[in-house]
Structure 1
């Protein structure tokens, strides 16, 4: 099994207003850079074999301290982009409700199946991101890999790997902290396998780097 450490990027300049960033290339705040530094301090003793990030600046900058302390190259994978929220990018929930009331209501009911106007569905995002895990497992079958990506994408993937309907990701996993660590053993071979069984073992969720196991 490959051990994956999943981390959301650090705080961005749109955090205070709760604006949807999606594929917009939004920068980190000073606090976000500090969160990235804490992730790097954790990585120094994590015995990582690879560091992979979304191409967006906020993910690359968040991975940079881990790259520096480990000496590993930063691998960029386009498939780890955040969900594209279309016309919702840059808007707050209140603004979305005012400008696109029907689409916003549908998104809230089934966020993986009902994309925002001109946006990408969560299920499509899962389909593009899952092969990343299979390919990294094939390359590092007993390895340890840090993935730095985005809150919505990571929560969607976690639901899918756990055998949970991803339309429930906002209820089941309402928050994923900046630069916190979620640890997976993947793929997980359960003793009793059915289509509903999880494909991963969750070893830790949303743990601050200072408290996360190595």
Structure 2
């Protein structure tokens, strides 16, 4: 079993207005860079074996201090890119509701299954990203891996690995703090898992913990 530390990137220039930033390459704010530095300070004692990031600049820049403090190479994984929100990219919830009322209603009812026009479904995002975890488990059995990615993708993956319907991710996990640490052990195989396919495939050790309080 491998221990994964999942971190959302730092604050971006779209953060204050809650604009949907999927595969748009949005820059970090100065505050976001500071959040990344705090994650890097946490990484010093985390005994990491690998650091993997989405190719978007906000994830790469957020992972950079951890790379510097640990001396590990930054591995870029395209399959960890954020969900593509299509025509909703760059819009606020209010703007989406005004311009695309039917699509917004469908998304709110089933956000993993009802993508915006031109976008990607959350379920498709899970399907592309989950193999990354299996490959890292094979490469680092009993290892410790930091993944720096994105709020929607991480929340979808957590629901999937917990045996929950990903369409409930916005209600179950409404917020994921910038550069906070969520710790899971995966795969978590138990007799219950063997008997019940929807039983959790992971063990959750910590959720959305600020790096200065996250255990290592």
Q: Deviations over 1:149-200 (max 9, x none)?
A: 0000000000000000000000000000000000000000123221110000
Which structure 2 residues correspond to residues 9-158 of structure 1 after superposition, within 5 A? 9-158=9-158
- Distance across 1 between alignment mates of 2:44 and 2:206: 19
1:203 aligns with 2:211: no
Once structures 1 and 2 are overlaid, which stretch shifts more, 185-194 or 54-63? 185-194
TM-score normalised to structure 2 length: 0.98
Displacement after TM superposition at 1:126 (Å): 0.2
SS of 1:182's equivalent in the other structure is strand
1:168 aligns with 2:168: yes
TM-score normalised to structure 1 length: 0.99
- Distance across 2 between alignment mates of 1:207 and 1:15: 19
- Distance across 1 between alignment mates of 2:192 and 2:14: 44
Displacement after TM superposition at 1:4 (Å): 0.1
Number of matched pairs: 214
- Distance across 2 between alignment mates of 1:191 and 1:198: 11
CA RMSD of aligned residues (A): 0.4
SS of 2:192's equivalent in the other structure is coil
| Residue 8 (structure 2) aligns with | 8
- Distance across 1 between alignment mates of 2:78 and 2:141: 22
Q: Deviations over 1:30-55 (max 9, x none)?
A: 00000000000000000000000000
Unaligned runs of at least 5 residues, structure 2: none
1:182 aligns with 2:174: no
SS of 1:192's equivalent in the other structure is helix
- Distance across 2 between alignment mates of 1:163 and 1:116: 25
